[in-house]
A and B are shown apart, each in its own frame.
Chain A
Amino acid sequence: MRMRLPSGVFYQTYRQDQALWPTTFVKLRMWGLLVFLFVIFPQIASPYWLSLANLVGYTILSAMGVQLLIGYTGQVTLGHAAFIAAGAYTCAVLVLQYHVPYPLAFLAAMIVAGLWSMLFGLPSARVKGFYLIMTTMAAQFITVDFIITQYVSRIGERGHSFSLPPGTLSIGPWVIQSDRDIYYLMIALVTLSVLAMTNLARTRIGRAWMAIRDHDIAAEALGINIVAYKLLAFFMAGVFGGVAGAFWIANLYAVSPEHFTWSWSLWLVGVILIGGLGSNYGTIFGSLFMTLVMEALRNIVTWLTPFFPSLETSFLFVKEAAFGLAIILFLLYEPNGLAYRWWQIKNYIHLWPFSYE
């Protein structure tokens, strides 16, 4: 290849032009956000808010792989909970049965979930659209309802769901136990995952995924091996699922097949549809929105129950109905998701005092 080293000045210019946080203002804002998330929030938040934040974090980690597949690569998946489950059970079995240290079990969970996801991604080499959706649904039922429920859950005769003795999970000397510990683990994992996704998106791998999503024939003509990159997308989505699953057992100190239902798979698709496709903002906003709205709904139901006793039992129904309604409303009125609205607001503020458009 005839490739020249970029000259110094231009090198600096391009580096600045391609920087993640291009201006001082953005840098300050992002560092401020990080300080808040890593230092201030865990100090001031009550256990209730910490556990709510952990739920948001778990949703972000879970939706990350769905975003990668649907939002970045254009491969619809309706069975992502299967790979989160694969991660959670790999980690739990290794820790409980084989006394593997949590960090190692965590790594194994990522790899197993990644490979498991790639296996179910194989049909994507041949089929698209509806048939691929069927395959990903099959992943859900084969993994969770069959393999995990029938076989994996029986390992060690622990009963239907595994619970981890307190203090089982530690990273070096740090035992992950309190809500605050879990929060620190969560915020570190979310930050790293968001960074990983950002980095993928701005290098050749992420660009190849987006090329496949937008125009696979053109991508092929440019030398992109479509099948290989689709499989890589399924692998990475599974790896993110593994991260979510391995985090989940730290969050709950228990794991059961009921945690990885098909409706959780659908929920995650809803999260990125509402948040917005093809960006980290979409994943984050969608997770925040869905989790907080559901929590608000639950509080309202709890508050109203003395007046309408039947509400308590029908909360599940209310939740699903609200989920369906939210998706329909978003598809109708905000088809680009919350991330797009955020982008508009940001532009508006940047342009401010000149924002007469």
Chain B
Amino acid sequence: MDSPPVILQVEGIFLTFGGVMALNGVSLAVRHGEIFSIIGPNGAGKTSLLNCINGLYRPQRGRILFNGQDITRLPAHRRARMGIARTFQKTELFKNMTVLDNVRLGRHIHMKTNLLDALIYWGRAEWEELAHRAFIEEEILDLLEIGHLRHRVVGMLPYGLQKRVDLARALALEPRLLLLDEPMAGLNLEEVEDMARFILEINENPRWGVTCVLVEHDMGVVMDLSHRVAVLNFGNKIAEGPPEEIQNNPVVIQAYLGEEAAYATRR
């Protein structure tokens, strides 16, 4: 069977903060349509890796290719335009804005209103606002089941719903590649199930067909959702493979799963 083409290629990334080696020559390749998970203990460098991929951090060495194009030196906003979106570990939302305005900001790259259109509003700008409003309502808020919260101020929502708004905002970019940084962290069991369902839908439904890079602590979720898993430890990639294989890999078990198994059974 032919495997689908590579969408994201990370080649030998080095990233240090002062003396701390956050990423030590990490390489990986994510294929179209995959859910590719990255696991590892706290401080392993997972968030730093996502930050390098979407352009918030610049690695000292190594290359990042997106659909074959070298994006290592591109600023984050250019990468977003190319189709890379992300959610944040601690939901970096616009807390004082409504759900709708947060998601509207996710539509920024798809809007074309220029200064003159905006000043006049009636005509082109209004048409665009309404068209995108319809898109947001019918495609995104419905899918993530947060339509009833549209006018609520995000900072006032419970954490579980904020995580969902974070996903909605990223999805509004209609990305080709979605980086999810611990989307389940801090959620209760029911919310975890909902979130897993949404991620599967976004990944599998051809309407979206989004390739996902998932950083997650919840091993059950990782094993259920992922096509492949990479394991980071102290900035090194120590293993990579299908979930079953990772689960039984002695190196991984030693570095990580022992501690995580205890964590997983506790919840």
Spell out A's residues near B (CB within 8 Å): 1-7, 10-11, 14-15, 17-18, 196, 199-200, 202-208, 210-211, 214-215, 217-226, 232, 236
Beta-carbon contact of B134 and A222 below 8 Å: no
B168-193 contact mask (Cβ, 8 Å, vs A): 1 or 0: 01000110000000000000000000
Beta-carbon contact of B111 and A223 below 8 Å: no
Beta-carbon contact of B130 and A199 below 8 Å: no
Q: Which of B3-11, B38-46, B98-106, B253-261 is found at the contact surface with chain A?
A: B98-106
- Give the residues in chain A near B110, CB-CB below 8 Å: 1, 3
- Give the residues in chain A near B106, CB-CB below 8 Å: 222
Q: Which of B94-123 contact A (CB under 8 A)?
A: 94-97, 101, 104-111, 113, 115, 117-121
Beta-carbon contact of A202 and B94 below 8 Å: no
Measured CB to CB, the closest approach of chain B to A213, in angstroms, equals 9
- Give the residues in chain A near B167, CB-CB below 8 Å: none
| A3 and B111 alpha carbons, distance in the complex (Å) | 11
Beta-carbon contact of B77 and A215 below 8 Å: no
- Give the residues in chain B near A2, CB-CB below 8 Å: 174
Q: Does B63 contact A (CB under 8 A)?
A: no
Contacts A4-B135, A6-B131; is A210 near B94 (CB within 8 Å)?
yes
Beta-carbon contact of B130 and A11 below 8 Å: yes
Beta-carbon contact of B108 and A224 below 8 Å: yes
Q: Which of B223-244 contact A (CB under 8 A)?
A: none
Beta-carbon contact of A207 and B134 below 8 Å: no
Which listed residue, A202, A223, A225, A226, touches B129 by the CB 8 Å rule? A202
| A4 and B137 alpha carbons, distance in the complex (Å) | 12
Contacts A4-B134, A221-B76, A225-B77; is A207 near B109 (CB within 8 Å)?
no
| A210 and B105 alpha carbons, distance in the complex (Å) | 10
Contacts A200-B119, A203-B129, A205-B113; is A221 near B105 (CB within 8 Å)?
no
Beta-carbon contact of A199 and B119 below 8 Å: yes
- Give the residues in chain B near A203, CB-CB below 8 Å: 111, 113, 117-118, 121, 125, 128-129
| A202 and B117 alpha carbons, distance in the complex (Å) | 12
Which listed residue, B94, B129, B174, touches A218 by the CB 8 Å rule? B94
10 shortest interchain CB distances as A-B pairs? A223-B80, A6-B134, A223-B109, A199-B121, A203-B118, A218-B92, A204-B111, A14-B133, A220-B76, A214-B94
| A291 and B35 alpha carbons, distance in the complex (Å) | 61
| A10 and B136 alpha carbons, distance in the complex (Å) | 12
- Give the residues in chain A near B93, CB-CB below 8 Å: 215, 218
Beta-carbon contact of A204 and B113 below 8 Å: yes
Q: Does B54 contact A (CB under 8 A)?
A: yes
Beta-carbon contact of B108 and A217 below 8 Å: no
- Give the residues in chain A near B86, CB-CB below 8 Å: 221
Contacts A6-B131, A11-B134, A200-B119; is A211 near B94 (CB within 8 Å)?
yes
Measured CB to CB, the closest approach of chain A to B150, in angstroms, equals 9
Give the bracket for the number of chain B residues in contact with chain A. Answer: 35 or more
- Give the residues in chain A near B174, CB-CB below 8 Å: 1-2
Contacts A2-B174, A232-B115; is A10 near B92 (CB within 8 Å)?
no
Q: Does B56 contact A (CB under 8 A)?
A: yes
Which chain B residue lies CB-closest to A206? B118
Beta-carbon contact of B130 and A18 below 8 Å: yes
Chain B CB count within 10 A is highest, among A3, A18, A203, for: A203
- Give the residues in chain A near B138, CB-CB below 8 Å: 10
Measured CB to CB, the closest approach of chain A to B131, in angstroms, equals 6
Contacts A214-B96, A221-B80; is A196 near B109 (CB within 8 Å)?
no
Beta-carbon contact of B108 and A215 below 8 Å: no
Which listed residue, B77, B120, B128, touches A226 by the CB 8 Å rule? B77
Q: Does B75 contact A (CB under 8 A)?
A: yes
| A18 and B127 alpha carbons, distance in the complex (Å) | 12
- Give the residues in chain B near A7, CB-CB below 8 Å: 134
Q: Does B88 contact A (CB under 8 A)?
A: yes
Beta-carbon contact of A200 and B118 below 8 Å: yes
Q: List 28 A-B contacts (CB under 8 A).
A: A1-B110, A3-B135, A4-B134, A10-B137, A14-B133, A14-B134, A14-B137, A18-B129, A199-B119, A200-B118, A202-B129, A203-B113, A203-B121, A203-B125, A204-B107, A217-B56, A218-B94, A219-B105, A220-B55, A220-B77, A221-B54, A222-B80, A222-B85, A222-B106, A222-B173, A223-B77, A223-B173, A236-B115
- Give the residues in chain A near B105, CB-CB below 8 Å: 207-208, 211, 219, 222, 224
- Give the residues in chain A near B96, CB-CB below 8 Å: 214
Measured CB to CB, the closest approach of chain B to A193, in angstroms, equals 10
Which listed residue, A11, A199, A223, touches B108 by the CB 8 Å rule? A223
- Give the residues in chain B near A15, CB-CB below 8 Å: 126, 130
Which listed residue, B117, B120, B169, touches A222 by the CB 8 Å rule? B169
| A200 and B107 alpha carbons, distance in the complex (Å) | 16
- Give the residues in chain B near A215, CB-CB below 8 Å: 92-94
Measured CB to CB, the closest approach of chain A to B95, in angstroms, equals 7
Which chain A residue lies CB-closest to B126? A15
- Give the residues in chain B near A14, CB-CB below 8 Å: 130, 133-134, 137
Measured CB to CB, the closest approach of chain B to A196, in angstroms, equals 5
- Give the residues in chain B near A225, CB-CB below 8 Å: 75, 77
- Give the residues in chain B near A223, CB-CB below 8 Å: 77, 80-81, 108-109, 173
Measured CB to CB, the closest approach of chain A to B162, in angstroms, equals 13
